[in-house]
Chains A and B, each alone.
Chain A
Amino acid sequence: MGLLSLFRSKPNSASIAKERLRIIVAQERGGRGGPDYLPLLRRELLQVIHKYVNVDPEAVQINLEREAGHEVLELSVALPQKPPG
């Protein structure tokens, strides 16, 4: 840290890295141990949805939740906002 850098405000890149890692690691751990078809299922669902609505790939979330005795396949699609007017 030199004299000049005292006057420059630097974004803290380590905390950005930490936040990004926290999210991606949680997501990847969630998919682990799940059936191998999940990524393919996600891709095909995305194609079908895309035929009707123009959604961002990130807007489609698929989760497999394990609860006592049964599993729940959870699909969440965030639809784009309608343009005003």
Chain B
Amino acid sequence: MTEIIVVTSGKGGVGKTTTSASMACGLARRGKRVAVIDFDIGLRNLDLIMGCERRVVYDFVNVINGDCTLKQALIKDKRLETLHVLAASQTRDKDALTEDGVRRVLDELIADAFDYIICDSPAGIEKGAHLAMYFADRAVVVVNPEISSVRDSDRILGLLASKTHRAANGNGGVKEHLLLTRYNPRRVANGEMLSVEDVKEILGLDVIGVVPESPDVLAASNAGVPVILSDTSDAAVAYHDAVARLLGEELPLRFLDEPKRGFFARMFGG
């Protein structure tokens, strides 16, 4: 059984691609066969985060147009044997992605017995975002504890509930999860940032992970190594936990409290 998971958010820059890359790696590390697809046509970026930008020969649109086979376009990850990347096209043609074309590619991946297909959605609510979510069984809605991100996430939840294949066919709808990123427990404690509980309450959804704000995320994208692979990082631990919860394990959330600081830091620190 293949499960199609869309990573989406509405708002840009909240960590969709970082999350797609890390969740795909996390699932592959557990031996699952995973394909991660960049739906951001025109603005390819997943390849950079995955560190395979120089190995892109064919892309998603090439496969849809029949310029190459799916097998030729799938880039095998060099670190994890069961992980494959399908890069976005850099075409400026907005109609390059079609519902039928996307369906054919997904069907071929399903026939090839992939366990998970991760669809990395572009920002916004246009065609690319629509097609990224359309065939999904599950959605990971990435949200920053910030007012515009939360509102946009709610908009996306509305679309997931109405404009998807599962919604249209009444087979239970898309299963939705929240994943908070850039979480800063110190600012939450100071009353400067919405807490996990606040976001949960406003959006009315369960939280599959909370990724703390961390310099490791930028370092990881600089290096082209998904942050989940930087084992000592809090962000990596948080993503591993999120993957475990996705697979049905019940784990308490971590990194919700301010790290303990020394006496001098507390008295004089900012």
Contact = CB atoms under 8 A, between A and B. Distances in A.
Interface of A: 1-3, 10, 12-15, 17-18, 20-22, 24-25, 28-29, 32-33
A30 to B, nearest CB: 11
Contact of B198 (A3, A18, A24, A33): A18
B113 interface: no
Contacts of A14: 188, 191-195, 198
Interface stretch (B63-71, B151-159, B217-225): B151-159
A79 B254 CA distance: 51
Contacts, number: 51
A13 B269 contact: no
Interface of B: 146-147, 150-151, 154-155, 158, 162, 188, 190-195, 198, 202-203, 266-270
B268 A29 contact: no
Nearest to B155: A28
28 contacts: A2-B267, A2-B268, A2-B270, A3-B267, A10-B190, A12-B191, A13-B191, A14-B188, A14-B191, A14-B194, A14-B195, A14-B198, A17-B147, A17-B198, A18-B202, A20-B147, A21-B147, A21-B151, A24-B151, A25-B150, A25-B151, A25-B154, A28-B151, A28-B154, A28-B155, A28-B158, A32-B158, A32-B162
Nearest to A25: B154
A6 to B, nearest CB: 10
A1 to B, nearest CB: 7
A22 B198 CA distance: 10
Contacts of A18: 194, 198, 202
A13 B266 CA distance: 22
A32 B176 CA distance: 18
Given A21-B202, A28-B158, 11 more contacts: A1-B266, A1-B269, A3-B268, A12-B191, A14-B195, A17-B147, A18-B194, A18-B198, A25-B202, A25-B203, A32-B158
